[in-house]
């Protein structure tokens, strides 16, 4: 995220580097009205410390949304607000790990999550991913190895829907198998579910948290992808016991819950009935952009054995994950691309234990049709020129 | 903070328990206008991820304020925004301690800070306080003992101005002696300076950070005391090196700086020239309330040897710290007081290593004149009745 603003403006004319919402899609006018409503009606609460679980009207709205969308009936103490999904992950690592524990992640995974976990005195272990999400058999083997070596695997961080960076979604079968494995190993799961609402065909499989019968999953949601990241507001869902552990941590207690002012603004926005139509618009916009990106890749990328890159076809979210032909490295392509004002993230930062030399993350969320097409044309041209023979 | 809202309303009719701003003093109308301005002028930036240091216009305003108020000239990379002083302390503990390190605190100190530090795998050691603040000789002895025992004292957390809960302010001599001691031991200092602006007679001595020539101090400020705590916004000042360490932590990088939306709202509020007049009003209001509280204590508390409680006379901030006569315990007084609808915090939670059985924290920030007077009358009546013979 830092690269976005430290220089004052976007990096590169065609910044495939940004895996986030296009600012042109922020509902600024609605949020302005919501802020005025919140401060007119609730300024004593909105400007004060709040309960550790966060603004109760927004929590009620979120529980109602989860019941409507997924048939989930949550108790009052099974959902709390967070200062974004990042803060939820941060608190979970603080509360649920001890020094020396191992935290498992997907390979690849969200690189900023790796940064958060690395700030704690824990070890990282990465488990591979395929088109159906985390490979549960590989996780099982890794857990056996870790336990055999005297390690304590404490937590798994997974992004089962429209994963960042791969776009992969974990199948329902994998989800059920993962939970059984987690129960056997008493492995807590942090489920980063921030892209769930942004599906293009139909809703994704039930969340791990919804399938969890033993209180081992904490599921993180966020307004960053469906409203605006500058709000720094998200939520966590789990058993009353595990939500209580997050809510009772020193920082949450001291601060008085996550961002009360923002929470009241977002509650006012939702109470006006503006959230669902906004999400509908985002789904349509991002679906169109995904289609543009996939069509451009199909049209422009070189073909032929050993020459054609592979790419994922996500059913939602923000990301296509491209694998270069064997002869090419992503960093070499990036170097050429930067010379032509196109930037993207090569695969390495997304791997906790190495890998990703041939991968490129291509977000379709941040830039619009003509730039998506021109960016792909340039990358495809570079790939074609760099291929031997 | 949790007690404030979990039950829906303030605890007790005379809640001396709340050590924070009276909601009647929130500048709600100004913040509403500021939110409208920020979203009209800067919605692309205000709603997006920002740089790790936070909204640059607000940082510039804060640097200008520090130069005007204290003659401090700070470089751009010597001040960053935080999600409140609590979040600043939390990040400092994460970044500057290793498992097993010792964190030194004052006895007494802000109890919520103890909660934050206790979430990390560190040890706590408490050093006594008197009317001139932290007793530096006692700190020196404790450091020698710790080092002799093979411990690693990594960090000191201190509140040198109008301390929570004691109201004490560290003298300039103590500040200079503390810095020399810290340099000898390579002890980092987190200076919680959130009450600095709320002085009643004249400004307090220079901050430790302003006196620091070796980059060992990180000073935390907050809009919680001078605007509204529900904003969750503060700042940290220090050497470029230590601010960089805080800014580069995983959570800050991932979230894109502290609360961008709120930061733009507060920047708009400040740009209108509304902050300083608001702080002036707060100073006047809190000075009046302190005077009311001190006059009520003088008028109502029992007198005579062995019967008269002692209390501090703070030059600013929110708190008077009362010490009961030898025969009485604060918890026994509290039990009686609750029966008469008066609540307060007894001293124990403010001590990391025991103590405080005879202390009572009396904030004068949250409740107004008649309630301050009636509350003190009730507590004084209970104390008088409970005293032997």
Distance to chain B for A305, nearest Cα, Å: 39
Distance separating alpha carbons of residues A285 and A38, to the nearest angstrom? 29
Q: Which of B8, B49, B52, B80 to mutate: most A Cβ within 10 Å?
A: B49
CB-based contact B44 A36, cutoff 8 Å: no
CB atoms B83 and A256 under 8 Å: no
Residue B5 pLDDT level (bands cut at 50, 70, 90): very low
C-alpha–C-alpha distance, residues A17 and B250, integer Å: 18
B262 contact A CB<8A: yes
Structure tokens at B162: 């109008």
Inform me whether the pLDDT recorded for B6 exceeds 80: no
Q: What share of chain B is helix, strand, coil (3-state, %, to 5)?
A: 45, 15, 40
Tokens linked to A265: 């603004």
**Does A234 touch chain B if contact means CB atoms closer than 8 Å?**
no
* Residue contact B250–A115, C-beta within 8 A: yes
Helix (H) / strand (E) element for A310: namely strand A310-311
**Interface residue of A225, A233, A251, A365 to substitute, partner B, most B CBs within 10 Å:** A251
Whether residue A229 and residue B47 make contact (CB cut-off 8 A), yes or no, is yes
Of all residues in chain A, the percent with pLDDT exceeding 90 is 89
Of chain B residues 146-205, which have a CB less than 8 A from chain A?
none
Residues 14-33 of B with CB under 8 A from A: 20-21, 23, 26, 28-29, 31-32
Q: Are B83 and A40 within 8 A, CB to CB?
A: no
Beta pairing partners, A130: A133
Beta carbons of A250 and B35 less than 8 Å apart: no
pLDDT (tens, 9 = 90+) of chain A, 389 residues, equals 434 433 334 556 778 888 888 999 999 999 999 999 999 999 899 999 999 999 999 999 999 999 999 999 999 999 999 999 999 999 999 999 999 999 999 999 999 999 999 999 999 999 999 999 999 999 999 999 999 999 999 999 999 999 999 999 999 999 999 999 999 999 999 999 999 999 999 999 999 999 999 999 999 999 999 999 999 999 999 999 999 999 999 888 887 889 999 999 999 999 999 999 999 999 999 999 999 999 999 999 999 888 999 999 999 999 999 999 998 999 999 999 999 999 999 999 999 999 999 999 999 999 999 999 999 999 999 999 999 87
What global pTM score does this model have?
A: 0.95
Residue B23 has pLDDT above 80, yes or no: yes
Tokens of A70: 């997924």
- Give the minimum alpha-carbon distance from B218 to chain A in angstroms, rounded to a whole number: 18
pLDDT of residue A180: 98
Quick: pLDDT tens for A28-51: 999 999 999 999 999 899 999 999
Q: How do residues A129-164 score in pLDDT, each as one tens digit?
A: 999 999 999 999 999 999 999 999 999 999 999 999
- Give exposure, B99-130, as e/b (b: 16+ Cβ within 10 Å): eebbbbbbbbbbbbbbbbbbbbbbbebbbebe
Give the tens place of pLDDT for each residue, A80-119: 999 999 999 999 999 999 999 999 999 999 999 999 999 9
Find where tokens 């008269």 sit: B308
- Under an 8 A CB cutoff, do B49 and A118 touch? no
Whether the ipTM is more than 0.90: the answer is yes
Q: Which chain B residue lies closest to A225 (C-alpha atoms)? A: B48
In the three-class reduction of DSSP (H, G, I as helix; E, B as strand; rest coil), residue A57 is classed as helix
Helix (H, G, I), strand (E, B) or coil at B19: coil
Q: Which residues of B touch A262 (CB under 8 A)?
A: 259, 261-262
B positions 89-118 inside 8 Å of A (CB): 90, 94-95, 98-99, 112-118
Find residues 207-226 of chain B whose CB sits inside 8 Å of chain A: none
Cα distance between residue B289 and residue B370, in whole Å: 10
B216: number of Cβ within 10 Å? 20
Q: Three-state DSSP class for A381?
A: helix
């Amino acid at each position: 995220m830092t690269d976005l603003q430290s220089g004052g403006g976007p990096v590169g004319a065609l910044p495939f580097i940004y895996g986030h919402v296009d600012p042109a899609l922020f509902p600024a006018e609605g949020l302005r009205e919501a802020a005025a409503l919140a401060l007119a009606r609730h300024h004593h609460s909105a400007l004060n410390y709040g309960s550790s679980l966060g603004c109760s009207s927004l929590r009620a709205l979120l529980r109602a949304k989860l019941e409507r969308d997924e048939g989930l009936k949550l108790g009052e103490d099974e959902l709390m607000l967070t200062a974004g999904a990042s803060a939820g992950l941060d608190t979970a690592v603080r509360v649920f790990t001890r020094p020396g524990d191992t935290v498992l992640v997907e390979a690849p995974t969200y690189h900023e999550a790796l940064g958060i976990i690395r700030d704690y005195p824990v070890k990282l272990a990465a488990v591979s991913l395929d088109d159906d999400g985390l490979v549960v058999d590989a996780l099982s083997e890794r857990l056996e190895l870790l336990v055999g070596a005297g390690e304590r695997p404490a937590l798994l961080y997974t992004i089962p829907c429209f994963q960042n960076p791969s776009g992969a979604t974990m199948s329902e079968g994998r989800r059920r198998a993962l939970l059984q494995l987690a129960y056997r190993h008493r492995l807590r799961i942090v489920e980063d579910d921030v892209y769930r609402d942004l599906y293009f065909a139909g809703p994704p499989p039930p969340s791990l948290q919804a399938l969890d019968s033993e209180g081992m999953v904490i599921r993180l949601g966020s307004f960053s992808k469906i409203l605006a990241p500058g709000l720094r507001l998200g939520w966590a869902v789990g058993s009353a016991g595990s939500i209580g552990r997050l809510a009772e941590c020193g920082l949450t207690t001291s601060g008085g819950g996550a961002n009360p002012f923002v929470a009241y603004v977002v509650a006012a926005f939702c109470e006006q009935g503006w959230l669902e139509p906004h999400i509908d618009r985002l789904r349509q916009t991002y679906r169109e952009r995904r289609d543009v990106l996939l069509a451009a890749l199909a049209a422009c990328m070189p073909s032929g054995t050993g020459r054609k890159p592979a790419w994922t076809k996500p059913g939602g979210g923000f990301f296509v994950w491209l694998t270069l032909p064997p002869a090419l490295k992503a960093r070499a392509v990036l170097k050429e691309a930067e010379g032509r004002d196109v930037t993207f993230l090569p695969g390495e930062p997304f791997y906790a234990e190495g890998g990703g030399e041939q991968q490129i993350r291509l977000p379709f969320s941040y830039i619009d049709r003509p730039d998506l097409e021109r960016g792909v044309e340039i990358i495809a041209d570079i790939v074609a020129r760099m291929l031997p023979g």
